[in-house]
Amino acid sequence: MLVGYMRVSSDSDRQSTDLQRDALLAAGVDPRHLFEDHASGAKDDREGLVRVLEFIRAGDVLVVWKLDRLGRSLSHLLSIVNTLKDKQVAFRSLTENLDTTTPSGEFLFQVIGALSQYERALIQERVVAGLDAARRRGRIGGRPRAITGEKLDTIVAALDGGMSKAAVCRNFSVKRTTLIETLARVGWPSSTTKRA
């Protein structure tokens, strides 16, 4: 059985699924087996997508008008198609003429998946190399520390003098989590040395 999924980015009157609906019906999808969303592709919780994935059964074919109607990114699209594969459901995209029911379509999708994994590996490699280069130059990644120098020394002196952490947060405009993390980093209350 052919099952269709359509999506437009917003619920406004300007965007309609008519073009997609016509293409899916022309491809042989029964109007009773059409699911749709009026939501951004970046949203994970698309109701129509959840319903179509629950509806399809082994042997069905999920049909979309275009690849970008299904997944928010290449990795998300591959994840959905792999979920379909696990359920023994085929996938067809009309515009790109991609059909996993054919050997060439299945092969093409595997190539796309391999390229996506390769791209992720390259990005990760570049990030690690960039962090290493920054460390060699004396730069440390992450956010700058919120409490340092004189402010830190004043806060520690206030705490040593008996001020509560809540009062420190109010008086020094510091978030409680930031204060706790900073105190753990400098080893308060046992540390009494000057802190940078």
Q: Are 137 and 120 in contact (CB under 8 A)?
A: no
Give 80's contacts (C-beta < 8 A, 6+ positions apart). 49, 53, 70, 71
CA 164 vs CA 107, 153, 154, 158, 195: distances in Å: 65, 15, 13, 8, 20
Q: Tell me the C-alpha distance between 192 and 109, whole Å.
A: 61
173 is catalytic: no
Q: How far apart are the first and last CA of the chain?
A: 68
Selecting among 9, 16, 104, 191, the annotated active-site residue is: 9
Residues marked active site are found at 9
